[in-house]
């Protein structure tokens, strides 16, 4: 069975040595000294190690069962959820006025990585609850907040998000679920929603569904959509639970992975719902939550890869097979460990350099959300809005690839379910699909985000890269290994953006055909920037003599690997982008 240990030293490195969160000026960050965050991460690691990780494989094997309208989660989930609840983890960063602990989102994210690595399917129950809290907190009335938020903060109730219907996922303008206004101001919700994660389960006494539906008078397409709070059990005026609402889980899907999470078909049969936010502006309400939700999925992408990496590394050190071509390294044993072989190391370094770069990028993204929400920093808001599809799309694509590589280290044993490596692949696969399939992320990036505010955020990003390079160019080692490659990659990104500007107006397909490559190009530049920043932090620590030699030198070596072997992919993506719409669009539909 796979093992997992929380990479606390690495998380601390990013929080303090790279991002220096305490000095960020963000309210709530001033108390985040390394001792404090270390204690939180240790505590989260303990829960992950002792409670969540041991249920990962068993939850995958057992899955969820729907019987007479009740969903039974896998053995041990109820106890684990009680432990999660008791630790107050869901509300770590939530408003203290409603039972939260008020810490910055960047800490919630660092803890989130640990929980996802340990057990992604399980962690979704609390992750979705966190999302529902955010939505109601931002858009709810005072009465709604008072009714729902404390219960969501404590995880006595959990939350869901109901968007997809059988015939529409991306194109929500097509949705058919209806909301009929009632005399008392509530609505009757009728329709079917699918792919509802945690739609029904036995972990909490109530489930608060947030449901997109069309109310009369809103017009066609996405304009007519509103968002509703639809509790599984109706809540009485005094806050106690009343009768069951007219909704039920009709089916749970048998999926490729995340078997521990119940993915439900939800039927709303005139269920009572309450408008959340403005009428006919449900899409806007949804979008304000998107950055956070998509960042969480990007985090899942690399967090599952981290767990898979740990297990491929352990196997590479332990499994004896073949000899080092330069001479036996384990001469008294029957063979050398796999890790002596260059191609195995290539595989491991791919994983390691990706995960560590992705961690820095995700936590940096989370810190931008803190700046946006706690400082009202418009530049941070623009930047995270731009980076969100990159973080979601690139980190989940590459994270999935890395779980496949981790499985590969195990050879035939990796294909056997009992060993657990397959589960990482199967679980990670969903991250490329949900919260907007990655093709939709690329479309969002190129079709919407690039040009937003006249391209201000993109210009800001380039300025930041240039500024970082300028600031550090005096350091010869940093320059050759990190800054020069970063400059070249960033130039490729600029050239791609320029290509879109010059050609996209004449033919939007000239830009859209290159959108997926652009997302990956951008992702590489982001990871290049993150590695340059991590390298500077590592070098600072080493120069000052205060560093942990082995740890900080490993950061430099791992960063150099990424810069030398992965960053050059930007040129390939640029070359593809410059082929324009032609190759992609040339074949007539009928000729496929």
User: Considering only 65-73, 229-237, 345-353, 448-456, which stretch makes contact with a second copy by CB under 8 A?
Assistant: 345-353
The answer to whether 290 contacts a second copy (rule: CB under 8 A) is no
DSSP sequence for 41-94:
HHHHHHHIIIIITHHHHHHHHH--EEETTEEEPPTTHHHHHHHHHHTTGGGTTS
Binder among 22, 345, 479, 491 for a second copy (CB under 8 A): 345
User: Considering only 180-188, 266-274, 381-389, 566-574, which stretch makes contact with a second copy by CB under 8 A?
Assistant: 566-574
Neighbouring residues of 166: CB distance < 8 A, sequence distance ≥ 6: 192, 194
SS3 state at 256: coil
Closest to a second copy by CB, 315 vs 364, is 315
Letters for 369-408 (x = contact with a second copy by CB under 8 A, - = none) are -------------------------------x---x--xx
Binder among 35, 185, 254, 332 for a second copy (CB under 8 A): 254
Q: Could you give the CA distance from residue 27 to residue 373 in angstroms, rounded to a whole number? A: 10
The answer to whether 522 contacts a second copy (rule: CB under 8 A) is no
The answer to whether 339 contacts a second copy (rule: CB under 8 A) is yes
Instruction: Kindly compute the dihedral angle of the four CA atoms of residues 13, 14, 17, 21, in this order, to the nearest 10 degrees.
Output: -130
Minimum distance of a second copy from residue 94's CB (angstroms) = 29
User: Considering only 138-146, 273-281, 363-371, 420-428, which stretch makes contact with a second copy by CB under 8 A?
Assistant: 420-428
**435 counts as catalytic:** yes
Binder among 142, 184, 238, 343 for a second copy (CB under 8 A): 343
Minimum distance of a second copy from residue 302's CB (angstroms) = 17
**Which residues in 70-89 are b (16+ Cβ under 10 Å) and which e?**
ebbbbebbeebbeebbebeb
Binder among 83, 451, 459, 572 for a second copy (CB under 8 A): 572
Count interface residues toward a second copy (CB under 8 A): 93
Minimum distance of a second copy from residue 587's CB (angstroms) = 5
The backbone region for 155, taken as left when phi is positive above 0, alpha when psi lies in -120 to 50, beta otherwise, is left
Binder among 326, 331, 376, 476 for a second copy (CB under 8 A): 326
Minimum distance of a second copy from residue 521's CB (angstroms) = 12
Q: Which residues pair with 225 in a beta bridge?
A: 214
Q: Could you give the CA distance from residue 553 to residue 541 in angstroms, rounded to a whole number? A: 10
Q: Could you give the CA distance from residue 150 to residue 105 in angstroms, rounded to a whole number? A: 18
The answer to whether 569 contacts a second copy (rule: CB under 8 A) is yes
Closest to a second copy by CB, 220 vs 238, is 220
Minimum distance of a second copy from residue 296's CB (angstroms) = 17
The answer to whether 1 contacts a second copy (rule: CB under 8 A) is no
Closest to a second copy by CB, 130 vs 352, is 352
DSSP sequence for 291-345:
HHHHHHHHHHHHHHHHHHHHHHHHHHHH-B-S--TTS-SSTTSSS-BGGGSHHHH
Expressed in angstroms, the distance from the first to the final Cα of the chain is 45
Q: Which residues pair with 264 in a beta bridge?
A: 196, 252
DSSP sequence for 161-206:
EE--BTTBSS-GGG---EEEE-TTS-EEEEEEEEEEETSS-SSSSE
Binder among 217, 342, 376, 545 for a second copy (CB under 8 A): 342
Give the length of the chain: 592
The answer to whether 546 contacts a second copy (rule: CB under 8 A) is no
Q: Which of residues 95-154 bind a second copy (CB under 8 A)?
A: none
Q: Which residues pair with 228 in a beta bridge?
A: 211, 275
Closest to a second copy by CB, 98 vs 499, is 499
Binder among 256, 480, 498, 501 for a second copy (CB under 8 A): 256
Relative orientation angle of helices 378-409 and 421-429, to the nearest 10 degrees: 150
Closest to a second copy by CB, 95 vs 553, is 553
User: Considering only 295-303, 333-341, 370-378, 460-468, which stretch makes contact with a second copy by CB under 8 A?
Assistant: 333-341
The residue from 165, 220, 435, 553 that is catalytic is: 435
Neighbouring residues of 177: CB distance < 8 A, sequence distance ≥ 6: 162, 165, 189, 190, 191, 192, 193, 211, 212, 213, 214, 268
The answer to whether 170 contacts a second copy (rule: CB under 8 A) is yes
Closest to a second copy by CB, 131 vs 150, is 131
Q: Which of residues 438-467 bind a second copy (CB under 8 A)?
A: 438-439, 442-443, 447
User: Considering only 201-209, 225-233, 239-247, 428-436, which stretch makes contact with a second copy by CB under 8 A?
Assistant: 428-436
Q: Could you give the CA distance from residue 462 to residue 416 in angstroms, rounded to a whole number? A: 46
Chain center to CA of 524: 17
Q: Give the Cβ contact number of residue 438 at 10 Å.
A: 23
The answer to whether 9 contacts a second copy (rule: CB under 8 A) is no
The answer to whether 313 contacts a second copy (rule: CB under 8 A) is yes
Residues catalogued as catalytic:
435
């Amino acid at each position: 069975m796979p093992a997992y240990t929380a990479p606390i030293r690495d998380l601390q490195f990013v929080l303090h040595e790279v991002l220096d969160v305490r000095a960020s000026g963000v309210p709530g960050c001033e108390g985040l000294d390394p001792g404090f965050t270390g204690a939180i991460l240790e505590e989260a690691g303990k829960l992950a190690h002792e409670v969540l990780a041991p249920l990962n494989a068993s939850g995958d094997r057992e899955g969820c069962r729907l019987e007479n309208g009740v969903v039974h989660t896998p053995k041990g989930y109820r106890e684990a959820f009680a432990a999660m609840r008791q630790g107050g983890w869901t509300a770590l960063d939530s408003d203290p006025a409603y039972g939260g602990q008020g810490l910055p989102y960047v800490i919630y994210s660092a803890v989130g990585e640990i929980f996802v690595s340990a057990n992604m399917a399980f962690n979704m129950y609390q992750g979705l609850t966190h999302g529902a809290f955010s939505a109601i907190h931002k858009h709810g009335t005072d009465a709604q907040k008072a009714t729902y938020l404390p219960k969501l903060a404590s995880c006595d109730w959990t939350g869901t998000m109901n968007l997809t219907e059988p015939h529409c996922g991306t194109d929500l303008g097509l949705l058919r679920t209806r909301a009929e206004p009632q005399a008392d101001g509530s609505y009757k919700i009728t329709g079917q929603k699918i792919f509802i994660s945690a739609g029904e389960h036995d972990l909490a006494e109530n489930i608060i569904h947030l449901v997109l539906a069309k109310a009369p008078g809103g017009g066609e397409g996405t304009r007519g959509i509103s968002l509703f709070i639809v509790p599984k059990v109706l809540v009485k005026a005094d806050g106690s639970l009343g009768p069951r609402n007219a909704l039920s889980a009709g089916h749970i899907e048998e999926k490729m992975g995340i078997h521990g999470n119940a993915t439900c078909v939800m039927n709303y049969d005139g269920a009572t719902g309450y408008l959340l936010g403005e009428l006919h502006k449900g899409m806007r309400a949804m979008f304000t939550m998107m950055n956070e939700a998509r960042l969480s999925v990007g985090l899942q992408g690399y967090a599952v890869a981290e767990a898979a990496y740990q297990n491929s590394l352990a196997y590479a050190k332990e499994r004896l097979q073949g000899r080092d071509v330069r001479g036996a390294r384990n001469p008294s044993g029957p063979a050398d460990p796999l890790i002596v072989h260059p191609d195995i190391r290539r595989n491991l370094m791919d994983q390691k350099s990706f995960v560590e770069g992705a961690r820095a990028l995700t936590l940096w993204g989370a810190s931008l959300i803190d700046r946006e929400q706690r400082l009202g920093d418009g530049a941070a808001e623009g930047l995270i809005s731009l980076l969100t599809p990159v973080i979601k799309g690139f980190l989940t694509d590459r994270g999935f690839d890395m779980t496949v590589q981790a499985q590969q280290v195990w050879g035939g044993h990796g294909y056997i379910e009992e060993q657990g490596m397959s589960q990482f692949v199967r679980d990670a696969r969903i991250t490329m699909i949900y919260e907007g399939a990655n093709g939709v992320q690329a479309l969002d990036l190129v079709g919407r985000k690039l040009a937003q505010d006249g391209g201000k955020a993109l210009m800001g990003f380039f300025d930041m890269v240039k500024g970082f390079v300028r600031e550090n160019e005096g350091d010869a080692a940093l320059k050759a290994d990190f800054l020069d490659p970063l400059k070249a990659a960033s130039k490729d990104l600029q050239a791609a953006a320029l290509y879109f500007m010059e050609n996209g107006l004449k033919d939007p397909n000239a830009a859209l055909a290159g959108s997926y490559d652009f997302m990956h190009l951008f992702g590489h530049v982001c990871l290049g920037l993150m590695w340059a920043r991590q390298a500077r932090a590592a070098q600072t620590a080493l120069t000052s003599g205060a560093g942990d030699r082995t740890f900080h030198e490993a950061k430099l070596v791992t960063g150099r690997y990424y810069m030398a072997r992965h960053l050059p992919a930007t040129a390939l993506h640029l070359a593809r982008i410059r082929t324009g719409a032609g190759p992609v669009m040339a074949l007539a539909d009928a000729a496929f």
